[in-house]
Chains A and B, each alone.
Chain A
Amino acid sequence: MKGARGPALVLAGWACLALLGPLLPLHPDRIDLARILAGPSWHAWLGYDDLGRSLFARLVMGARTSLFVAAAVVSLSGVLGAVIGAFSGWLGGAWDRVIVRIIDVFLAFPGILLAIALAGILGPGIGNVVVALCAVGWVGYARLVRAQVLSLRRREHVLAAVSLGAGQGRVVFHHLLPLTLAPLLVEATFGVAGVVIAEAGLSFLGLGVQPPAASWGGMIRDGTRYMLVAPHMVIVPGAALMAVVLAVNLLGDRLRDRFDVRSGGAGHEAA
């Protein structure tokens, strides 16, 4: 895909750091009192934090957190939302009306407000972050797949399957859901960006991953307290976060252009 090499490289780097991090000789919890708040140097390219821990090692640990949460939340909420949305669109009637109302209620909370409230009440911890973000995340996938299924349900291959006696489950899983995969993939790609920001945001607010575990959001929050003397503590994790989110968004744009000609090419048609 044209223009996707840069973003793909950044994401591959993110995944490699996260997956191979434990194999590297890194000590994210080792405290070096002589190097507290030390800036970047030849010895340590990214410097040290307020407890004298290597910022690079913390960054790798934070990459693990964000990758784990993103993978868990996007896959769980994607599957859950797709199944709910597909059945809602396929069954129609009262089921559909109820599910649409539920979706509307969930969409009535702007941004990550509901996730903040849920994570706040469930208590901190990576598991609760995943639960809170899944509880909010399934809605987008459900709405997307429902709309897709509504436009697909009268297709001939679906009618043929029904007249051959296929059950509800078979129609949904074999004849409808596979056709929604392309838009679902685009949505899930942007979903990764959203979840990475949301996890970091919750940790920034103190509602996510707890110390000594590392999260980029938590690192930014710690860094803001030492901004006058050690700006690298804020700059480093934020730059990593932005690079990953930007790469995911770029990749999502490319995927959308490739799969969905209508929204991607609107500007070109106009001229």
Chain B
Amino acid sequence: MIGFLLRRILAAALVVCGVVVLVFALIHLTPGDPVEVMLGESATPADQAALRHALGLDRPLPVQLAEYFDGLAHLRLGDSLYSHQPITAILAQRIPATAELAGAAALVAVLLAFPLGVLAAVRRDTAWDYGSMGFALLGVSIPNFWMGPMLILCFSVWLGWFPVSGREGLASLVLPAVTLGTAMAAILSRMVRSTLLEVLGEDYIRTARAKGLSEGRVILHHGLRNALLPVTTLLGLQLGTLLGGAVITEMVFSWPGVGQLLIDAIHRRDYPVVQACVLLISVTYVVVNMLTDLVYAWVDPRVRLAGRDG
């Protein structure tokens, strides 16, 4: 297990280094001079030189990269070009909102996916099955940026149940969480259905039925329990994906999280903040995926032993 743990952590660390290099390279992709783009055309050469020096863009590339890594290691991300506050402080203000949204969306996804998936598997090839899987197909086909406005239209504008946007109280969390969680619910419910169908075909399910257990007990205790492992893994992997979807959902609902900060920073040409947001979201994603893998390997020894062969 220790060997697997070290291998997995090392692989994740390598990926994070690659991510840092790519995010560092982003600023050098700007067509033309990034400093000119950031300051606009009215800036004097002296202003440009000052910003170039402040951002370290006047030094050789390898030195810049090394300093970027050094800054990250000490959690120094520089200052925002727009508000001149330290980026770490800005991010710290935004992280709770995004975490809250992602957590609530995952909850929505689980609450929707399990009943739908179980229903579809147990009532296979009936209207229940087709209905649930139809929902799943709709769920992956409706983009966040349309579902959000449609939910606002129905539940905020017409029915007046929830606030239109912003982050004030639990009611304001409902629509963003449903918007972000639906696609995940759709993917999860398909997985619950197919895994449960597979498990229900096993011999021990026949044995459980032959013992005379009630159908509910067979499905919940013997079926779903064994189907839980792959589903939980997918849940972990999808949790990271939520962070990507959160960017658009936050924009739809004016939710003051990291995603909204990212888009605002792009429009303000505040590139250090753009880099920091992208870095934060993707590193979180890598770490969540790694933890999911480790938990999976810890629960299911087949995974960590499989690594030895190849």
Answer whether A and B are interacting partners: yes
From B142, B198, B285, A108 is in contact (CB under 8 Å) with B285
Shortest CB distance A7–B (Å): 11
Asked whether any CB of chain B lies closer than 8 Å to the CB of A75, the reply is: no
> Are A109 and B198 CB-contacts (below 8 A) given A224-B149, A227-B153?
no
Least CB separation from A104: chain B residue = B15
**B137–A200 touching, CB < 8 Å:** no
From B145, B201, B240, A201 is in contact (CB under 8 Å) with B145
From B23, B150, B201, A238 is in contact (CB under 8 Å) with B150
In the bound complex, CA of A79 to CA of B89 (Å): 43
**B141–A242 touching, CB < 8 Å:** yes
> Are A105 and B15 CB-contacts (below 8 A) given A120-B274, A197-B143?
yes
**B146–A105 touching, CB < 8 Å:** no
> Are A123 and B149 CB-contacts (below 8 A) given A246-B138, A249-B141?
no
**B15–A108 touching, CB < 8 Å:** yes
- List residues of chain A with CB within 8 A of the CB of B245: 110-111
Asked whether any CB of chain B lies closer than 8 Å to the CB of A117, the reply is: yes
Question: A41-49, A168-176, A203-211: which one contacts chain B?
Answer: A203-211
**A227–B149 touching, CB < 8 Å:** yes
- List residues of chain A with CB within 8 A of the CB of B29: 118, 121-122
**B149–A110 touching, CB < 8 Å:** no
**B278–A113 touching, CB < 8 Å:** yes
Least CB separation from B20: chain A residue = A105
Asked whether any CB of chain B lies closer than 8 Å to the CB of A267, the reply is: yes
- List residues of chain A with CB within 8 A of the CB of B281: 109-110, 113
Least CB separation from B16: chain A residue = A108
In the bound complex, CA of A118 to CA of B26 (Å): 7
Hey, what's the 0/1 contact readout for A259-271 against B, CB within 8 Å counting as 1? 0000000110111
Asked whether any CB of chain B lies closer than 8 Å to the CB of A78, the reply is: no
Asked whether any CB of chain A lies closer than 8 Å to the CB of B77, the reply is: no
Least CB separation from B27: chain A residue = A121
Least CB separation from A120: chain B residue = B266
Shortest CB distance B18–A (Å): 3
> Are A105 and B198 CB-contacts (below 8 A) given A200-B143, A206-B267?
no
Most buried by B among A112, A228, A238: A238
**B140–A217 touching, CB < 8 Å:** no
Asked whether any CB of chain A lies closer than 8 Å to the CB of B194, the reply is: yes
Asked whether any CB of chain B lies closer than 8 Å to the CB of A101, the reply is: yes
- List residues of chain A with CB within 8 A of the CB of B240: 110
> Are A201 and B143 CB-contacts (below 8 A) given A108-B285, A234-B149?
yes
Shortest CB distance A9–B (Å): 16
Residues 114-140 (chain B) with a chain A CB within 8 angstroms: 124, 137-138, 140
Majority DSSP secondary structure for residues of B touching A = helix
Asked whether any CB of chain B lies closer than 8 Å to the CB of A76, the reply is: no
Shortest CB distance B188–A (Å): 16
Most buried by A among B144, B194, B247, B263: B247
From A117, A193, A241, A253, B274 is in contact (CB under 8 Å) with A117
In the bound complex, CA of A228 to CA of B153 (Å): 8
**A227–B282 touching, CB < 8 Å:** no
**B15–A250 touching, CB < 8 Å:** no
Hey, what's the 0/1 contact readout for B6-47 against A, CB within 8 Å counting as 1? 000001001110110111001101110000000000000000
- List residues of chain B with CB within 8 A of the CB of A121: 26-27, 29-30, 266, 271, 274
Asked whether any CB of chain A lies closer than 8 Å to the CB of B262, the reply is: yes
Asked whether any CB of chain A lies closer than 8 Å to the CB of B218, the reply is: no
Least CB separation from A238: chain B residue = B146
Residues 236-250 (chain B) with a chain A CB within 8 angstroms: 240-245, 247-248
Most buried by B among A113, A228, A231, A246: A113
In the bound complex, CA of A269 to CA of B202 (Å): 11
- List residues of chain A with CB within 8 A of the CB of B15: 101, 104-105, 108
Asked whether any CB of chain B lies closer than 8 Å to the CB of A158, the reply is: no
In the bound complex, CA of A112 to CA of B241 (Å): 10
- List residues of chain B with CB within 8 A of the CB of A221: 145
Asked whether any CB of chain B lies closer than 8 Å to the CB of A83, the reply is: no
**B142–A242 touching, CB < 8 Å:** yes
Shortest CB distance A215–B (Å): 12
**B285–A109 touching, CB < 8 Å:** yes
Asked whether any CB of chain B lies closer than 8 Å to the CB of A191, the reply is: no
Asked whether any CB of chain B lies closer than 8 Å to the CB of A85, the reply is: no
Closest 3 CB pairs of A and B: A111-B244, A105-B18, A110-B244
21 A-B pairs, CB-CB below 8 angstroms? A105-B19, A108-B16, A109-B19, A109-B281, A110-B243, A110-B282, A117-B278, A120-B263, A201-B248, A204-B248, A205-B248, A205-B263, A217-B145, A220-B145, A227-B153, A234-B150, A246-B137, A249-B140, A267-B197, A270-B200, A271-B124
